[in-house]
Amino acid sequence: MKKTFLIFCLIVSMLIVSCGKSAKPAGNSVSFNMEAEPTSLDPQLLTDMSGIFITSMTYESLVRLNDKNEIVPSGAESWTKSDDGKVWTFKIRQGMKWSNGDPLTAKDYFNGIKRGLDPKTGSEYSVLAYYIENAENYNNGTLKDFGQVGIKAKDDYTLEFTLSKPAPFFLKTLIMPVYFPVNEKALADNGEGYATEAGKSVYSGPFIMEEWVHDNKVVMKKNPNYWNAQNIKVDTLTGLIVTDFEAATNLFENKELDLTKISVEKMANFEGKPELHKFPDGRVYYLGFNTSNPVLKNKKVRQALSLAIDRKELVNSILNGAGIIGSGIVSNGTVGEKGDFREEAGDLFAEFANVNVKQVFEEGLKELNMTPAQVKLHLLVDENGTGKKEAEFYQSQWKDKLGIDVEVEVLTKKERIARAKAGEFEIVRYAWGPDYADPMTYLEMFHSKVKDLNFAKYADPKYDELVDLAKVNQDNKTRMDAMKQAEKLLSDDFRYSVLYYEVGVYLINPKLKGVVIRSVGDSIDFYNASITK
């Protein structure tokens, strides 16, 4: 009877999934799983990967990445850099239009960056523009006159940036949405509602957002006004929001999805089949410890909680091999001085291999005049992927090795992010994917001046000094050495503790060609995609 009831429940859940998501559009269309409701689809406000790859398809950035992750012209057809590396001049492509027919000019890019830096906007990614002269002072409110910020629309088709100091990787940051253009008319017409619904913005990218059904799907149609429309091969691009990878796999098998991540448990069912693809994607998963909690303020307690986790077992047993053991906040595959930064910097946990974690934990508790029975901690994870399964593993590791019970709360991804940023957590499992191809994309978010992204409020003047040096120094060896030292300082503090680097496991329709899955910027890129019937 119980077995019959379980089968009935499974059938009902599948029917609910099928009814909740509309069938894949007919014709030259592609449907993919974006996994989670975006925190926002406002380019200057969004912070998550769902938002980044939707807006990268609907707004035209100055530059884009090609299939080799090289910077190529897009909204800007060319650019030059001054001999001292501080002045960058971009020639904006003429003839571009917004989806409402307005011309797309240098002023629109100027407006976007100004809005991203405006303290009233509250953009978390404004930090990416701090390389621009006086941008930080304007963003923190100490400078009121935006005319003193180093960005100028010299004419309709010339945009000029003046940096406070040379930044070797400045060009790489321009793929991020905080730099995307803003149409003044759309912003004024929609006010506080700007970009909160599909019809409350206008678009400049290869696709127009036609529909946004919250917590369900985003539908994009090919933009006939796009300057390169003749080379955009997909007519309709639909992102379904399916948090349950089991349900997503069923949708793929029913041909309602052309691309989705799948659970590590399902991976074995597709081994050897052309649909299965694995990509080390540069995404790092880590724990953040809130030191406003008296127990977690003790470094030895944080160290013990971190080192108690067997990362090899985590990757092999919990992730079924779909991960790489974490050894520092900068993921493998990131370019360093001469080769891979991770290999050059080494395993930052290696020196702790023989540490007695129970002894370290008890030493920490002794300093707090506490016993293990008095320790009550709370872990936040989200419902996506292996979050819940990992949480159960961490619970068991802490129980077996430290003798403590940790309560787990499973949230939506959006809720988990909001709680972390608000400081409403004790321990939280978090993830970060690189925005651009440089170790700095991982390290700059732990600078003491960074607010929401540095949610555990790590602050070390020496760390700040090293990161600041690496941001502006033109010598690659000096930069990399500084970042290696900074990473070690961060790791040894144990306020953030790396778990693993993700290996994305995807099912992709063999008829879908040209889609790029990458570790930086828009993680799923349909710019050159095509699909055969």
User: Could you please report the per-residue DSSP string of 155-172?
Assistant: ETTEEEEEBSS--TTHHH
- Cβ-based burial of 233 (10 A; exposed 0-12, middle 13-18, buried ≥19): middle
Within a domain: residue 3?
A: no
Task: Answer whether residue 265 is part of any domain.
Answer: no
Burial of 89 (0-12, 13-18, 19+ CB in 10 A): middle
Cα-Cα-Cα-Cα torsion 352, 354, 357, 359, nearest 10 degrees, comes to -120
| Position 259 in a domain | no
User: Are 438 and 292 in the same domain?
Assistant: yes
Do 480 and 523 have their domain in common?
no
- Domain check: are 290 and 437 in the same one? yes
Q: E strand or H helix at 64, and its extent?
A: strand 63-65
Check residue 265 and give its pLDDT. 81
Please, is 224 exposed, middle or buried when counting C-beta atoms within 10 Å of its C-beta (0-12, 13-18, 19+)? Answer: exposed
CA 222 to chain centre: 25
The reply to whether 81 and 229 lie within a common domain is yes
Which amino acid, residue 500?
A: Y
Does 67 share its domain with 191?
A: yes
pLDDT at position 288? 98
Mean pLDDT along residues 313-337: 94
Q: Each residue of 456-494: pLDDT tens digit?
A: 999 999 999 999 999 888 889 999 999 999 999 999 999
Burial of 421 (0-12, 13-18, 19+ CB in 10 A): middle
- In tens, the pLDDT along 185-202 reads 999 999 999 999 999 999
**CA torsion sign, 131 to 134 to 140 to 145?**
negative
Residue 17 binned pLDDT confidence (cut-offs 50, 70, 90): very low
Q: How confident is the model at residue 24 (pLDDT cuts 50, 70, 90)?
A: low
Domain co-membership, 308 together with 324:
yes
Residue 21 domain flag: no
Same-domain pairing of 336 and 455 = yes
List the CATH number of the domain containing 140. Answer: 3.40.190.10
358-392: per-residue pLDDT in tens?
Answer: 999 999 999 999 999 999 999 999 988 889 999 99
Q: What is the pLDDT of residues 153-180, one digit of tens each?
A: 999 999 999 999 888 789 989 999 999 9
Residue 271 included in any domain: no
Percent of the chain with pLDDT over 70: 95
Query: pLDDT-derived band of residue 446, with 50, 70 and 90 as boundaries?
Result: very high
What pLDDT score was predicted for residue 148?
A: 98
What's the token pair of residue 390?
A: 């990992």
| Domain count across the chain | 2
pLDDT band, very low/low/confident/very high, at 451 (cuts 50, 70, 90): confident
User: Do residues 386 and 293 share a domain?
Assistant: yes
Mean pLDDT, rounded, for 48-59: 92
Residue 437 sits in the same domain as residue 513: no
Query: What confidence tens digit (pLDDT) does each residue in 25-41 have?
Result: 656 999 999 998 998 99
List C-alpha distances in Å: 354 to 239, 301, 359, 367, 439: 47, 17, 12, 22, 29
- Chain-centroid distance of CA 417 in Å reads 11
Average pLDDT over residues 87-97: 98
Place of tokens 């009233």: 120
Residue in 280, 282, 279, 301 with CA at minimum distance from that of residue 290:
301
> Which residue in this structure is represented by tokens 């036609």?
210
Tell me the C-alpha distance between 416 and 335, whole Å: 31
Residues 412 and 487 in one domain: yes
Same domain, 499 and 522: no
pLDDT value at residue 22: 47
Q: Calculate the average pLDDT of the chain.
A: 92
Domain that residue 521 falls in: 29-241+509-531
Confirm whether 9 is domain-assigned. no
Q: Assess whether 495 and 514 both reside in one domain.
A: no
Q: For residue 468, give the CATH number of its domain.
A: 3.10.105.10
Phi then psi for residue 153, to 5 deg, are -90, 95
Please indicate, yes or no, if residue 188 is contained in any of the structural domains. Answer: yes
Mean pLDDT, to the nearest integer, of 504-508? 94
With respect to residue 301, please indicate whether it lies within any of the assigned structural domains.
Answer: yes
